[in-house]
Structure 1
């Protein structure tokens, strides 16, 4: 679980993961030479993907509305809304045809000047503008990030907005982030998996997620919806159960909407156009799920509940829920009580502060054996190494903007040249064994 203490005026949390290009260790003056700056500060970079589709990844955001459920966090919202990003191998991300954009004169009052720019599918930002503002207001304090000197909204992904999908049916992987975190904190791993031929759907859980920006307004919320958390949900048993139950329901609903997309319908509730061929790229007979922290809890349990999911990765999420009765032991989730009957990877870090509690819940599941459950650990790492912070925090330290003790508490002292490839290798390797992508010509 993300252990947060949020002030009442806070409006959210979000990831801006990065590492210097090439994912090497970023130290001292070398980091300063290898990064860019804008007027607003340092521009951080996500590590590039390494798979065969690394130069042609597409991305699309979908706004999904479940009218059969009320929002679990806000009584004034009569439906359940979910935002997702879909990363996929693209058929083409080329420059396309020249288009005309109005350009404001840099000195005088705004005047439109038609200028041709050959842009068809621009590279997407990691965070939307509204999300970046909320991130700057909250997560900087929550995770002891620099209060100034960083342009949090300038980070770019390696994925091209709206690029046409390659017309090949591919395994689908769902990602659910840590408690209180937004889906963007998992951008690096999502791009890596997409570069190896998967369709990856990163899911925001509004009300839980630090901040979620929507394409349209709705009664009961603004365009950017902040988290309701004001502390560690695991210390509040009812809130923790609501969080995990809502995430499981969200993931199952997203699978329903992907089935509609694969059938040729547009599930986007705002009616926005979809990338060409996106629905035809989904092979929903081969679905996996992975998640970090609370997302790891939800990933393991949703596989237990939904037979459509064939494999899952739990990145340091508890497999029990705290009791309402003080002093009573936490109650294992059904997946821990019964064991997993499909492949499940439990992946932890060496310096997770709650290792003893985590071990208790994982041991209950592992005692059952069978089902292909295995576990591994990232030595020298801390809890957020599984998110984009694994690449972000070392870059901030190398630029002289984050002290070593804060970086180590967040992701550990491990070099990102080791940790980023290690996390990617373990997650991709697991899914490659159990949900292999189609070979050439298939």
Structure 2
């Protein structure tokens, strides 16, 4: 209520004024409740925030298609009742330019609905409401015809608890520079994965089992499964001489897959540990590698465990390099680098939440820096 609603004309008698004042005092709690309800209703009725991903910087248009791959030779470690291991992957390729094909959404409708419910549990700084997660578009065109010619292939493995979709901007940018990029989901630890249809043992949209930090056994299963997933994609798509890059647990898997599979020519580990949670070094860190491997981290996430496991690998003679992004945090290697500042600007995330997720550097710094790190590495070791 505003002061204009209080009777205040001189014509009113003192008794009437006193009575009105008493009436207003008695009703104050009700007015406050009405005001809170009005504000809450206004927030709920406000348009949901639509987020935007940065455009790619390469010379090529990019086409997108999605594949459902089934590995009948092994079972799913997180849901054995399924009976097989299933993956969803997105293939991004340099494409014939044109606007006759719609831009691919970052999240399918089913995945967006699930992500809206799950995101703040996986990343506590993300808002519980206020965002239209289904509205974000990538800069790839659905089913746009690929340009002719053979192109080197890069595989992407996302971080633990994240889906392949949160690496869309970097993947599209790499494709715009001439690579074929395949982003791989790891169902069970990915936040959500939407399949073409349901099947016995799972619904159409499958949710993560990771709603908190994994224990040692879960982490071991996660890395072993991811390495097997990446190698299966190579088998299923008959790929050879490829590059692999990944973030966090995906970076761990990329480095270990490089060690295990000679079809992988080079790899980038974006801030993934090279040991188990009990301190046991992974074979790639114990034995080293004779193929190019980039270790890229941030100053905000760096800790003793990361330094120890990376130092063990760097102690071996081999083509391994380490780089660091300053004023950045762990998820600056993902789409969150561009999305989180938009959430803060809209009042849906605090400055401290932003700093905890992506650091204080702006996307105009971190996005091109990450693109340069990954793109220049593969340009040297897996040229287009």
TM > 0.5: yes
TM-score normalized with structure 2 length: 0.86
Deviation at 1:39, TM superposition (A): 6.6
CA radius of gyration, larger in: 2
- Decide which of 163, 171, 176 is 2:144's aligned counterpart: 163
Give yes or no for contact 2:116–2:129 (8 Å, CA) kept in 1. Answer: no
**Alignment RMSD:** 1.3
Structure 1 match to 2:221:
242
TM-score normalized with structure 1 length: 0.75
Structure 2 match to 1:314:
269
Structure 1 match to 2:311:
363
- Decide which of 88, 93, 111 is 1:88's aligned counterpart: 93
**Alpha-carbon distance in structure 2 between the residues aligned to 1:141 and 1:331:** 29
Unaligned runs of 5+ in 1: 1-37, 96-120, 260-283, 324-329, 438-442
| 2:296 is the counterpart of 1:347 | yes
Moved more, 61-70 or 147-156: 147-156
Aligned 1:370-385 pairs, distance under 5 A: 370=318, 372-385=319-332
Aligned length: 339
Give yes or no for contact 2:234–2:240 (8 Å, CA) kept in 1. Answer: no
Give yes or no for contact 1:86–1:202 (8 Å, CA) kept in 2. Answer: yes
**Alpha-carbon distance in structure 1 between the residues aligned to 2:70 and 2:230:** 13
User: Higher relative contact order by CA 8 Å / sep ≥ 6: 1 or 2?
Assistant: 1
Deviation at 1:356, TM superposition (A): 1.1
Give yes or no for contact 1:58–1:93 (8 Å, CA) kept in 2. Answer: no
Deviation at 1:217, TM superposition (A): 1.1
Deviation at 1:92, TM superposition (A): 4.1
- Decide which of 208, 215, 230 is 1:251's aligned counterpart: 230
- Decide which of 114, 124, 132 is 2:104's aligned counterpart: 124
Q: Is the alpha carbon distance of 1:245 and 1:141 closer, same or farther for their aligned partners in structure 2, counting shifts above 3 Å?
A: closer
The alignment partner of 1:58 has SS state of strand
Structure 1 match to 2:183:
202
Give yes or no for contact 1:132–1:152 (8 Å, CA) kept in 2. Answer: yes
Deviation at 1:334, TM superposition (A): 0.7
Q: Is the alpha carbon distance of 1:227 and 1:427 closer, same or farther for their aligned partners in structure 2, counting shifts above 3 Å?
A: same
Deviation at 1:145, TM superposition (A): 1.6
Deviation at 1:48, TM superposition (A): 0.3
Deviation at 1:141, TM superposition (A): 4.2
Unaligned runs of 5+ in 2: 1-44
Would you tell me which structure has more helix in proportion to its own residues? 2
Deviation at 1:285, TM superposition (A): 4.2
**Alpha-carbon distance in structure 2 between the residues aligned to 1:215 and 1:396:** 31
**Alpha-carbon distance in structure 2 between the residues aligned to 1:72 and 1:138:** 21
Deviation at 1:151, TM superposition (A): 1.1
Structure 2 match to 1:229:
210
**Alpha-carbon distance in structure 1 between the residues aligned to 2:336 and 2:211:** 21
**Alpha-carbon distance in structure 1 between the residues aligned to 2:224 and 2:126:** 31
